[in-house]
A and B are shown apart, each in its own frame.
Chain A
Amino acid sequence: MSVIKVKGIQKIYNEGSAIEVRALNGIDLVVEKGEFTAVVGPSGSGKTTLLNIIGGLDVATQGEVLIDGTTISGMSENELIGFRLNNIGFVFQAYNLIPVLTAKENVGFIMLLQKRSNDERENRVNELLDEVGLKEQKNKRPGELSGGQQQRVAVARALASKPKFVLADEPTANLDSKSTSDLLDIMARLNKEEGTTFIFSTHDQRVIDRARRVVTIDDGRITSDVHHA
């Protein structure tokens, strides 16, 4: 069952001008539920643009994106915000936690936006912080956590809303080997045990090695799509 279906996506910046840039040039991609996919490619190849369009943060010049059968291409900005809130989890390169909230509050923030009950929020937050190994750190603010710990909180936050998939843009770029390894272990376990679909954009070979599917992009086109056992 496909969670993401990308059909003929093109993204052209400064269209019609002398400095026109074709970031994506006819991308077709289907991601099935439960996949652990890495999108790789050199800088400027279009990885982040593809993830932004799949995540509804950017709009394709041409083509269509379907999430769980729903097309998001024609949605208004407000509809997209609501769609992202309820369907997509994000993990960013720079963690991007809210600095004035504790780890627990950061994880619960999305559920608060979803207007979930206090009890449900409390249970889910504790469960997720336990899964990423930060139960003891739940009352610490991001500034009191290491980079690896912050990124684990970011993963917990991304999963809090029980999204259909998680988009992670270079999630290990700022992490040391140990933190990278820990984070990948957590995400792999969540993928395996909870069936969460993960899509990464990455340069990191350690991430690529753990991915079960590697999609390579170059000059805005998919140049290879390899499934590992």
Chain B
Amino acid sequence: MFFKLAWRNIWRSKRRSLITIGSIFFAILFSNLMQSLQRGLWEKSLGATMSLSGYIQVQSPAFWEEQTLDNGIECNAQQVETISQIDNVKLVSPRIQSGALAAHGILSKFAFIHCINPSTEQDLLELPLKLDEGSLLADDDDGIIIGRGMAQYFEIGVGDTLSMLGQGYHGASANANFPIRGIIKYGSNQMSGSLVIMPLKLAQSHFDAPNIATSLHVSLDDIDKLEKTQLLIDKALSGQDLTTMNWKQMMPELLQAYQADAGGNVIFLMVLYLIIGFGIFGTVLMMTTERMYEFGVMVSIGMKRFKLSIILFLETVFLSAIGVAVGSLLSFPIMFYYHLNPIQITGDAADAMRDLGFDPVIAGSISLSILYENALVIAVIIALVNIYPAIVISKLNPIKAMRK
């Protein structure tokens, strides 16, 4: 009966209820879409960065201070298997990351050599999507893939040869020519101009480092469980001369940039929810004030005050639930649309994003936590707003209320 009473009460003033539901609906719609695009931008950017760095790296304890091949680790299939079995671990990839001087003709520049197992990791790096020209690599390939920026710098294309001059494992020289199999587009200008992707087997031979990797890169299913997964890996590797680092520890400046952006977003959302909060409060205020007489009657005939408060609480819950449900149901398809059809940024804005190391693409995030979190904010607003009628009802004098 209380549910029935509350439900019918909200339709006593249809226009007012529809306006309140509408304001909640638009707040949910806007905040869901805004957060979807904001998170999507970061998910995409972090995803691209993490595909190279891994969310977690297993390294030699000396590696982080002096990032050379000499501080690499021996690839151990048992180790890889142990980490792969840990919950939330998607893929464990032994990789070599090293630098060299790339040269072609009279030109030379720094090259960031990233060595992968092509058969298992090309998809992770989205190489099929990024490939602009040529072909992908095979595990036993003797060629390389380079970024479009580097190809433009050297004015070379697929089929040309790029020289790599560097130092190998324990002082060995690592100089060789590599045929270019493919050229990829990379959002970040810096990476586009310096990235060289090489098969791991080829790299181990080139650097004279058989079975050596600079680190094991760990990809995750759920990035929200980053720290928890790192702890599990630490536990699994205890007693071995290895250490783990997550991306927040390896790239604190990226974390700060993310937090700063998310912080700005929070301020905007707070303003939005403040407006909505006052909107709901206005409705509750009216619903309370104009029904004092009725409340007086209900208390007179024997209705306990807290039950009356529950009815009023249910009324706001119904109003909000409708607004949240409709807002979420309508915003999710839009979020999904932008997830499948990202907004392509062009012109100066795109250049600015590339300079920051981001792909100039904003894809909608479809993380359900966006919907939950915004619904939770509305729930908190309802709880706060309902303090007022609860106080009014607790102080209600039925005789005075009925006199009014």
A binds B: yes
Please tell me the number of chain A residues within 8 Å of chain B, measured between CB atoms.
25
Q: A114–B301 Cα gap in the complex (Å)? A: 11
**What's the minimum C-beta distance from A169 to chain B, rounded to whole angstroms?**
9
Contacts of A57 in B (CB 8 A): 300, 398-399
CB distance A92 to B12 under 8 Å? no
* Residue in chain B with minimal CB distance to A77: B305
Is A90 an interface position by the 8 A CB rule?
A: yes
Contacts of A85 in B (CB 8 A): 301-303
Is B68 an interface position by the 8 A CB rule?
A: no
Binds B, one of A66-74, A104-112, A193-201: A104-112
CB distance A98 to B302 under 8 Å? no
Is B5 an interface position by the 8 A CB rule?
A: yes
Known: A57-B399, A92-B402, A109-B1. A100 touches B9 (CB 8 A): yes
* Residue in chain B with minimal CB distance to A56: B300
Contacts of A112 in B (CB 8 A): 1
**What's the minimum C-beta distance from A228 to chain B, rounded to whole angstroms?**
30
* Residue in chain B with minimal CB distance to A96: B297
Contacts of A100 in B (CB 8 A): 5, 8-9, 11-12
Q: A112–B305 Cα gap in the complex (Å)? A: 15
* Residue in chain A with minimal CB distance to B291: A99
Q: Which of B8, B305, B402 contacts A81 (CB 8 A)?
A: B305
CB distance A99 to B305 under 8 Å? no
CB distance B1 to A98 under 8 Å? no
Q: A84–B1 Cα gap in the complex (Å)? A: 20
CB distance B5 to A113 under 8 Å? no
Is B228 an interface position by the 8 A CB rule?
A: no
The residues in A between 56 and 96 inclusive whose CB is less than 8 angstroms from any CB of B are: 57-58, 78, 81-82, 84-86, 90, 92, 96
CB distance A101 to B5 under 8 Å? yes
Is B294 an interface position by the 8 A CB rule?
A: yes
Contacts of A82 in B (CB 8 A): 302, 304
Q: A181–B399 Cα gap in the complex (Å)? A: 28
CB distance B398 to A157 under 8 Å? no
CB distance B302 to A86 under 8 Å? yes
Contacts of B5 in A (CB 8 A): 98, 100-101
Is B299 an interface position by the 8 A CB rule?
A: yes
Footprint of A on B, CB under 8 Å? Answer: 1, 4-5, 8-9, 11-12, 293-294, 297-305, 307, 398-399, 402
14 A-B pairs with CB atoms under 8 Å apart are: A52-B399, A57-B399, A81-B302, A92-B300, A92-B402, A96-B294, A99-B12, A100-B8, A100-B11, A101-B5, A109-B301, A110-B302, A113-B303, A157-B301
The 4 closest A-B pairs by CB, nearest first: A85-B302, A100-B8, A96-B297, A84-B302
